[in-house]
């Protein structure tokens, strides 16, 4: 069996799967024969499930708020004790505008969804995987984690945490058969920028990657057990440059992309 083959009856959980990268990751799983438990905080998750069932795999959908520990508990319980072969932790939120102009409860929800809820789910599922000494995990980080995110500060901060955490957890599990992969996309053609109220920004109006291609890159990296993958060659260059560029310069560059009204400048 090669690293990319899956056994009959494999089971995957995909979060943030109602649209965008998450839905495309679920499609990758279905095409590879995984039965699915998919979750999102919006009713469109049911339509996504109907679409995925046409591939012939079993699909359970759950509309749930994964920014709360109660929501994560509901998702974990929905697996009904079935061993999880793959977890694709993709749920995330964004928020534009200057930090001091944001509603703090919205900012907190970004933090709770991207960090607290993700870590709580990982603690549950990765712990079970370690006990079985088997499993694959894909965590959706972002190249935004390499840049101080002026006018997107909370989001970029959460992704810096997730990127770093992914590498740390991978190292902690290196003696096991559980693999951790961090997918780090750049701007992708999803509903993210509309939901984050960033359609009037340069990055919101700019060219974006195809979510299906981004998902396939991440999915293949997960099956191969790779530690990380940056989707797209331009993003690879940007990530490399971020490592040698002063933080103040990166923050100013990000300002030009994400400041409200920058689409017209």
Q: Strand 178-184 relative to strand 228-230: parallel, antiparallel, unpaired?
A: parallel
Query: Distance (Å, rounded) from C-alpha 22 to C-alpha 212?
Result: 9
Helices 104-111 & 153-172, crossing angle to 10 degrees? 20
Task: Judge whether 219 and 199 are in contact, CB under 8 Å.
Answer: no
CB neighbour class for 135 (10 Å; exposed up to 12, middle 13-18, buried from 19):
buried
Query: Distance (Å, rounded) from C-alpha 212 to C-alpha 204?
Result: 19
Residue of 76, 120, 159, 208 with catalytic role:
159
Query: Distance (Å, rounded) from C-alpha 118 to C-alpha 39?
Result: 13
Please report which residue ranges of 102-210 form alpha helices under DSSP H.
Answer: 104-111, 118-132, 153-172, 192-195, 202-205
Q: What is the DSSP letter of 82?
A: P
Residue of 76, 120, 124, 155 with catalytic role:
155
Which residues are CB-neighbours of 200 under 8 A, at least 6 positions away? 260, 261, 262, 263, 264
Q: Is 207 a catalytic residue?
A: no
Tokens of 131: 């006990």
Query: Distance (Å, rounded) from C-alpha 190 to C-alpha 187?
Result: 9
Q: Is 159 a catalytic residue?
A: yes
Residues recognised as catalytic = 155, 159
């Amino acid at each position: 069996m090669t690293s990319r083959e899956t056994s009959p009856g494999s089971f995957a959980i995909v979060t943030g799967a109602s649209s965008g990268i998450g839905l495309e990751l679920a499609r990758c799983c279905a095409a590879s024969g995984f039965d699915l438990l998919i979750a999102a905080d919006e009713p469109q998750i049911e339509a996504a499930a109907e679409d995925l069932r046409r591939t012939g795999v079993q699909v359970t959908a759950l509309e749930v708020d994964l920014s709360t520990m109660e929501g994560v508990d509901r998702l974990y319980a929905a697996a009904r004790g079935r061993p999880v072969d793959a977890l694709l932790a993709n749920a995330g939120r964004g928020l534009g505008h200057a930090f001091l102009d944001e509603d703090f409860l919205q900012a907190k929800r970004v933090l709770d969804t991207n960090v607290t809820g993700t870590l709580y789910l990982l603690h549950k599922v990765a712990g079970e995987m370690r006990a079985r000494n088997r499993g694959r995990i894909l965590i959706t980080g972002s190249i935004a984690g390499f840049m101080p995110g002026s006018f997107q500060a909370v989001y970029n901060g959460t992704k810096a945490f997730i990127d770093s955490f992914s590498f740390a957890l991978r190292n902690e599990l290196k003696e096991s058969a559980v693999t951790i992969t961090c997918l780090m996309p750049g701007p992708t053609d999803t509903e993210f920028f509309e939901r984050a109220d960033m359609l009037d920004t340069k990055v919101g109006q700019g060219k974006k990657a195809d979510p299906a291609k981004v998902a396939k890159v991440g999915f293949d990296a997960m099956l191969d057990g790779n530690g990380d993958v940056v989707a797209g060659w331009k993003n690879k260059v940007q990530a490399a440059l971020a490592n040698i560029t002063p933080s103040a310069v990166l923050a100013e560059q990000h300002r030009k992309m994400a400041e409200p009204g920058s689409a017209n400048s």
